[in-house]
């Protein structure tokens, strides 16, 4: 099956991710895929939450932190500015505290906590997680293409949905139990329990968001996860390991794309030994890929004559990728 057939036979698959080690061409393939879908009349949002995102580079314009930016007809690209998102969120929390209690200023201890929270590494990750949830639960595009961060992070991200899910279920249950004790106590003292309900409400809100995103990410009908690899030993080994880990988190792997394949017809030309060696090496590993992954490989993408930036070059690659 080719990549084209995969898309045509599964029209309800709207969430597309390309994963793989850094520098193998995830962004290039994401952009190419987005371009192809958009040029076939689908409304596509290509987004990235990586602080070192390269969508701006590939489209040759600055889109960082500007929301969905129209790139061409039917295609929007978005680079989320996680730091700014955290800052705005902190201000929102501060404002909420001031409004709720009528304070002139946020108590020092609380304010310190809010400021310190942003310094934690987990803060950025959970903020990014939430940004992705924000984007995918809206559902107003035909396709969402997530230009993911390199493998380790991607795995972390995907596992987070599962971990958060369990975490939030536990504390929601605790909160509900607390509600029972409240009721007992309330028969004696007629206490206000409005605040309590609000916490439970917030928990339910968080829970719904996390559930929605983890359901989407692990649903084979709606989500496709493609692995990008190149014909080199280390990459093949890493990809195999990663694929095992991913399946443990119920991530539906839909196929592999082999990138940067040197055109074998080069051999007929009078080329230097160096290049001959590289072609021979690639052939060896291409054979290995064929025996281990076989029909799961959806496309072999040739090494292009120059780097892929700008729409004309992306179009050229799309023709090769979706032939």
Partner 1 sequence: MADDKKPKKGGILQVFKDIVYGMSSHEMTRHAVRTRASMEHLFILITMGDLLGIPILPPYYSLRLLPYVVPQISSWKRRMLREKDITDALG
229 bridge partner residues: 258
Q: Does residue 280 touch partner 1 according to CB under 8 A? A: no
- Which of 51, 75, 44 has its CA nearest to residue 65? 51
- From the list 136-144, 145-153, 164-172, 298-306, the region that binds partner 1 by CB under 8 A is 164-172
Residue with tokens 């390991």: 241
Stretch that binds partner 1, among 9-17, 118-126, 211-219, 269-277 (CB under 8 A): 118-126
Round to whole Å and give the CA distance between 213 and 73. 28
198 backbone dihedrals φ, ψ, rounded to 5°:
-65, -40
Residue 212 touching partner 1 (CB under 8 A): no
Give the three-state DSSP class for 120. Answer: coil
275 binds partner 1 per the rule CB under 8 A: no
State in angstroms the smallest separation of the CB of 154 from partner 1.
17
Quick one: which segment of 72-80, 127-135, 221-229, 252-260 binds partner 1 (CB under 8 A)?
Answer: 127-135
Q: Residue 67 Cβ, how far from partner 1 at the closest point, in Å?
A: 20
Note whether 169 binds partner 1 by CB under 8 A. Answer: no
Give the CA diameter of the chain.
Answer: 94
Q: Does 108 bind partner 1 (CB under 8 A)?
A: no
Choose between 17 and 86: whose C-beta lies nearer to partner 1: 86
Residue 114: phi and psi, rounded to 5, are: -65, -45
Residue with tokens 């983890």: 214
The residue within the footprint of partner 1, chosen from 162, 175, 222, 316 (CB under 8 A), is 175
- The 3-state DSSP composition of the chain as helix, strand, coil percent (nearest 5) reads 60, 15, 25
Q: CB under 8 A: which stretch of 10-18, 38-46, 89-97, 214-222 binds partner 1?
A: 89-97
Residue 91 token pair: 């201000």
CB 24 within 8 A of CB 54: no
Contact 257, 227 (CB under 8 A): yes
β partners of residue 297: 256
Task: Report the alpha-carbon distance of residue 43 to residue 37 in Å, rounded.
Answer: 8
- Give the Cα separation of 226 and 29 in Å (integer): 10
Which range in 10-18, 108-116, 215-223, 304-312 contacts partner 1 by CB under 8 A?
Answer: 108-116
| Binding status of residue 244 toward partner 1 by CB under 8 A | no
Angle (nearest 5°) at CA 91 between 88 and 97 = 145
Which residue, 57 or 91, has its beta carbon nearer to partner 1?
Answer: 91
Q: Determine which residue in the list 8, 91, 202, 233 makes contact with partner 1, applying CB under 8 A.
A: 202
Q: How far is the CB of 293 from partner 1 (least distance, A)?
A: 35
Part in contact with partner 1 (CB under 8 A); list of ranges 146-154, 162-170, 240-248, 274-282? 162-170
In this structure, are residues 165 and 210 in contact, taking their beta carbons and an 8 Å threshold? Answer: yes
Number of residues that bind partner 1 (CB under 8 A): 46
Residues that bind partner 1 (CB under 8 A): 86, 89-90, 93, 96-97, 100-101, 107, 109-110, 113-114, 116-117, 120, 122-123, 125-127, 129-130, 160, 163-164, 167-168, 171, 174-175, 177-178, 181-182, 184-185, 187-189, 195, 198-199, 202-203, 206
């Amino acid at each position: 099956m080719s990549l084209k057939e995969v898309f045509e036979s599964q029209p309800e698959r709207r969430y597309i991710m390309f994963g793989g080690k850094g520098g193998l061409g995830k962004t290039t393939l994401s952009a190419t895929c987005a371009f192809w879908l958009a040029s076939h009349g689908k409304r596509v949002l290509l987004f990235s939450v990586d602080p070192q995102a390269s969508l701006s580079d590939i489209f040759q314009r600055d889109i960082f932190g500007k929301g969905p930016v129209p790139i061409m007809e039917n295609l929007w690209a978005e680079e989320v500015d996680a730091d700014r998102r955290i800052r705005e969120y902190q201000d929102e929390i501060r404002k909420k505290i001031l409004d709720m209690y009528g304070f002139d200023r946020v108590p020092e201890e609380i304010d310190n906590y809010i400021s310190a929270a942003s310094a934690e590494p987990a803060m950025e990750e959970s903020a990014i997680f939430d940004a992705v949830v924000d984007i995918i639960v809206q559902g107003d595009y035909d396709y969402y293409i997530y230009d993911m961060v390199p493998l380790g992070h991607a795995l972390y991200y995907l596992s987070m949905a599962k971990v958060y899910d369990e975490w939030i279920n536990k504390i929601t249950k605790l909160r509900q139990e607390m509600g029972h004790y409240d009721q007992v106590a309330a028969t004696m003292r007629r206490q206000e329990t409005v605040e309590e309900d609000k916490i439970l409400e917030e928990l339910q809100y968080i829970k719904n968001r996390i559930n929605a995103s983890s359901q989407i990410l692990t649903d084979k009908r709606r989500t496709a996860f493609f692995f990008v690899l190149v014909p080199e030993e280390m990459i093949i080994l890493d990809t195999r390991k990663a694929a095992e880990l991913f399946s443990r988190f119920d991530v539906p792997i839909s196929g592999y794309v082999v990138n940067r394949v040197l055109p074998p017809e080069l051999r007929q030309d009078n080329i230097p030994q160096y290049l001959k060696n590289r072609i021979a090496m690639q052939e060896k590993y291409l054979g290995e890929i064929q025996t281990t992954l076989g029909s799961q490989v959806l496309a072999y993408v040739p090494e292009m004559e120059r780097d892929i930036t700008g729409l004309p070059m992306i179009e050229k690659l799309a023709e090769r990728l979706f032939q």
